[in-house]
Amino acid sequence: MSGVVRLFVAAWPSADLLRQVALIPRPTEPGVRWVPERNWHITLRFIGDADVDTVTARLGTTELPRPVAHLGPGLEPLGRRQIVVPVEGVDELAQAVRSATSGLGELDRHRFRGHLTLARLQPNAHWTANGYQFEAEFEIGEIALVTSDLQATGAVYTTIARFPTT
């Protein structure tokens, strides 16, 4: 794939971690939209519209640290619109990605805060599972360059390149 598309850089959780996260209760509540399991990831940088070849070349020549991601100790809100599992231990990796892709796509508007998004909330939605305890960890052996295709049924993510961590 080449050309300008909507991109982000992510760490996909291990299969073992995905099984653990899948056990978290997902109550049905008005205004709460649970993220499909196939979309669970840790965003290291949202790039937005950028040239695939340029991003791939920069990430391909960047030394990427191999961290252990620590998730938890529980679920919490991120702003007013997301329910997440916080992720610690990935800041250095996220900084390497941000440095490598600096000047491409959108400006980084926020300080990096590692997390795995589980649900998105509509305005005034009430979520009752706040404080649910969850702890896990996994080693990030690679990162992925991912396209994000926004559709009426939700975002479709496709990994287009992988880069090993060292």
Lowest mean pLDDT: which of 51-55, 79-83, 125-129? 125-129
Domains of the chain: 4-164 (3.90.1140.10)
SS3 156: strand
Share of the chain above pLDDT 90, in %: 79
**Nearby residues of 43 by Cβ (< 8 Å), 6 or more positions away:** 8, 9, 10, 115
Task: For residue 12, give Cα distances in angstroms to 18, 73, 94, 145, 147.
Answer: 9, 19, 14, 10, 13
Asked if 51 and 35 count as a contact pair (C-beta separation under 8 A), the reply is: no
**How does pLDDT run across 82-116, given as a tens digit for each residue?**
999 999 999 999 999 999 999 999 988 889 999 99
Average pLDDT over residues 107-129: 89
Please tell me which residue, 47 or 2, carries the higher pLDDT value: 47
pTM of the model: 0.93
Q: What is the largest CA-CA distance in the chain?
A: 46
Average pLDDT over residues 34-45: 96
Specify the pLDDT at position 129: 67
